[in-house]
């Protein structure tokens, strides 16, 4: 005799796909936020490391780093305008992207004489 209390429900295949899409999208969005925060904190807040030195070491790839960072920030904010703290929304020092792909950072306001 079949066990009537052990009836299994079969999930509709589209429900499974939709759940996968929702879960993966959320995980991707959260990963983007974590990655952006980690990169910005490493670049701007590493003790004893001047961000200009990082730009100099990146050389002609520094511009690409700034551009991609801005694109990632914009993507995050498009999904959730409150996802990032204010201090990570804009560069601490104004960058100038030079024609050769290098980046020159303006001095901090308190460094200006």
Which stretches within 10-89 are classed as H helix?
Answer: 13-45, 51-58, 62-79
Q: Is 1 part of any domain?
A: no
Alpha carbon 54 to its chain centroid, in Å, reads 18
What is the C-alpha to C-alpha distance for residues 22 and 32, in angstroms, rounded to an integer? 15
Task: Tell me the sheet residues that pair with 111.
Answer: none
The model's confidence at residue 111, banded by pLDDT at 50, 70 and 90, is low
Q: Is 41 part of any domain?
A: yes
- Domain residue limits at 81: 14-111
Q: Is 81 part of any domain?
A: yes
Average pLDDT over residues 14-43: 92
Q: Is 8 part of any domain?
A: no
Give the contacts of 55 (CB within 8 A, at least 6 positions apart).
62, 95, 102, 103, 104, 105
What is the chain's alpha carbon radius of gyration, rounded to the nearest angstrom? Answer: 23
Domain count, the chain: 1
pLDDT, mean over the chain? 89
């Amino acid at each position: 005799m079949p066990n009537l209390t052990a009836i299994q429900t079969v999930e509709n295949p589209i429900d499974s796909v939709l759940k996968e899409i929702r879960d993966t999208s959320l995980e991707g969005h959260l990963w983007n936020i974590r990655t952006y925060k980690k990169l910005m904190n490493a670049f701007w807040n590493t003790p004893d490391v001047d961000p200009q030195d990082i730009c100099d070491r990146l050389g002609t790839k520094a511009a690409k780093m700034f551009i991609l960072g801005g694109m990632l920030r914009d993507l995050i904010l498009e999904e959730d305008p409150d996802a990032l703290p204010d201090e990570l929304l804009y560069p601490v020092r104004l960058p100038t992207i030079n024609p050769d792909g290098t980046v020159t950072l303006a001095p901090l306001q308190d460094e200006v004489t």
